[in-house]
Chains A and B, each alone.
Chain A
Amino acid sequence: MSDTEEITQDEQNQVVTLISKDGFQFQLPKEVALVSGTLKSMLSTSFKESATNRIILHDMEAVLLEKVVEYCFYNWKYEGQVDVPDFDVPTEMALELLVVSDFLEV
């Protein structure tokens, strides 16, 4: 995609803020946020989000969003490596997390 290749090194160092439904804020490097397909397209278009680097996720609770952020770091850290540790998801969270991860394409 031509849009994404235009993201320069400088931009990669930026910080993205994700805001959950219940008002919690999560800050992470843009590079890490790009693990999510949905966030990637939001951050690399002419949408408002790519200028402000703030994304409000209206129907996502903080517990779930925290887990997603954790996964983004996990994926970013271990991508391309072998023998990586398992990513831990509490059983009772699996169904809700599936809905959220489908939306965020992670």
Chain B
Amino acid sequence: SAALLNKEEFKIPSLQDICIKIITDNIEAVDLLGEIGVINMKKISRILSKNRSLNSKTMSLFLDRSLKELEFWDCSHIDRDALNQIASFCSDIEKLNLNMCGQLHNENLQYFGTKLHKLQHLTLNGPFLISDVMWQDFFDSEVGKNLKGFNIRNTHRFTGDSLIALLDNCGPNLEALTLSKLDGLTNKAHYDILAHYLQNLKHLEISYPNKEELIDDDLMVNILATNGGTLETLILDGCSDLTDQLLISGIKPFCTALSKLSLAKLDQLTDSGLTQTFTNWTINGGLMDVNFSRCLHLTDDGMFAFLEHSSQTIVELNLNSVKELSKGLFTKLSRKLYFPLLTTLDIGFVRSVDDSVLSILSRVAPKLKILEVYGDNKCTPKALVRDDLRIIGREIDSI
């Protein structure tokens, strides 16, 4: 009745809300909530994040002395004191991943730097309260020196000096590095020193730099020349200053172990670059996960060269908005290529795609499960495709 007075519509709480309330109310007596394995704990942490219910209170459910890995998808409701509890309760942690951690304060990171002696991989998204000086102190600390993986996104306070401190302390040991959307890095010289330090990378992401000219072909070729042999993942989304030279002089000669490549929004890539790279690229056995979305100038010839090279290995492929691809490419595929492992494909906004293309894809990729076709207005429910292939985004579906 209170709801009526407030003129709110009364809604029955979902079963998830009911469960979360019980969990929150009983958080002090975790034993009462029943036994549940480590895998399910991870799942529960994700479900709580999804319901925006991960907070300083529910968080304590996951703090266990024996924990080696901790991942919180949404830390926006976890306050400063609670964040310190992570380090005091789980001092053996090796991998820590905090998403949306806008509440992470300088003193939290300082505390982590004195406590988490086994920490090897740190992933932070949105730590915008951490100051430039604090970053330097952290990398100089006993904990910071040990890092093998450092992934950071979405903060303007991570500057050139922070990056130098990171590289000075851990550069040659780094196996994983992500620098994404860091608007405090505005000096090209700071990016250029990356090539001098990095030697052992398996995972590298440099994406959406402050200005496109910060990341150029020379820099990437230099990095790939020393790390190409070990590098498995390369993500350069939004580094739109990069050209065909990245492919021809960097990726082709050096990247023997590469399996995931993401080059979204690299609008200077051309067919000639792709053809030269992927034709007779024998030192690499094939890529598994590739993203060419919004590479607007690629057309049939370059794409065919790539697909021919990786057809046996490709599992995930994103060609969203590669708008010049024509129907001819797909008919050629149906005669010449077969994709035994391809599972998900996004060909949204490739407007030449119609029902006959869908049935070709259904046939040449027998394991294909999810096919996204947003914006392809020639696709209808009449397409003849396998029963177990889910097609998402047809206009008719959303009405």
Assess whether B47 is in contact with A82, with CB atoms less than 8 Å apart: no
Q: A6 interface residue, CB < 8 Å from B?
A: no
Q: Which of A74, A89, A98 has the most CB of B within 10 A?
A: A98
**A82: which B residues are within 8 A, CB to CB?**
1, 3-4, 10
Q: A44 interface residue, CB < 8 Å from B?
A: no
Q: Which of A46, A81, A84, A101 contacts B19 (CB 8 A)?
A: A101
Assess whether A99 is in contact with B44, with CB atoms less than 8 Å apart: yes
**B50: which A residues are within 8 A, CB to CB?**
102
Interface segment, B20-28, B216-224, B313-321?
B20-28
B2-30 near A? 1/0 per residue, CB < 8 Å: 01100000101111101110110010000
Q: Which of A83, A84, A101 contacts B16 (CB 8 A)?
A: A101
Size class of the B contact interface (CB-based, 8 Å): 20 to 34
Assess whether B32 is in contact with A91, with CB atoms less than 8 Å apart: yes
In chain B, residues 277-291, which have Cβ atoms closer than 8 Å to a Cβ of chain A?
none
Classify the secondary structure of A's interface with B. Answer: helix
Interface segment, B33-41, B168-176, B245-253?
B33-41
Q: A9 interface residue, CB < 8 Å from B?
A: no
A91 to B22, CA, bound (A): 6
A90 to B111, CA, bound (A): 39
Q: Quick one: closest B residue to A67, CB to CB?
A: B15
A21-34 near B? 1/0 per residue, CB < 8 Å: 00000000000000
Q: A94 interface residue, CB < 8 Å from B?
A: yes
Q: Which of A2, A83, A92 contacts B1 (CB 8 A)?
A: A83
In chain A, residues 65-106, which have Cβ atoms closer than 8 Å to a Cβ of chain B?
68, 71, 74-75, 78-84, 87, 89, 91-99, 101-102, 106
Assess whether A99 is in contact with B26, with CB atoms less than 8 Å apart: no
**A80: which B residues are within 8 A, CB to CB?**
10
A74 to B399, CA, bound (A): 30
Assess whether A98 is in contact with B3, with CB atoms less than 8 Å apart: no
Beyond A82-B3, A92-B32, whether A98 also contacts B12 by CB under 8 A is no
B368-399 near A? 1/0 per residue, CB < 8 Å: 00000000000000000001000000001101
**B4: which A residues are within 8 A, CB to CB?**
82
Which A residues contact B (CB, under 8 angstroms)?
A: 2, 46, 68, 71, 74-75, 78-84, 87, 89, 91-99, 101-102, 106
Which B residues contact A (CB, under 8 angstroms)?
A: 1, 3-4, 10, 12-16, 18-20, 22-23, 26, 32-34, 36, 40, 43-44, 47, 50, 387, 396-397, 399
Given contacts A71-B15, A82-B3, 20 further A-B contacts (CB under 8 A): A2-B396, A74-B12, A79-B12, A80-B10, A82-B10, A87-B13, A89-B15, A91-B26, A92-B34, A94-B23, A94-B34, A95-B19, A95-B34, A96-B34, A96-B40, A98-B16, A98-B19, A98-B20, A102-B16, A106-B14
